[in-house]
Amino acid sequence: MNGNGTVYLTYSSSNGHNCAVTVNNTGEQRWIGGKLKTSSSSSWEDEGWYTFHAGPAHVYARATCVDGGGHVRYGKESGDTYITWKDHRG
In this structure, are residues 32 and 48 in contact, taking their beta carbons and an 8 Å threshold?
A: yes
User: Which class is 5-89 in CATH?
Assistant: mainly beta
What is the side-by-side order of every strand in the sheet holding 17-24? 5-12, 17-24, 53-60
pTM equals 0.77
Q: pLDDT tens digits for 34-58?
A: 888 887 766 778 889 999 999 988 8
Extents of the domains making up the chain: 5-89
What are 51-85's pLDDT values in tens digits? 999 998 888 888 888 888 888 887 766 555 555 55
3-state DSSP assignment of residue 14: coil
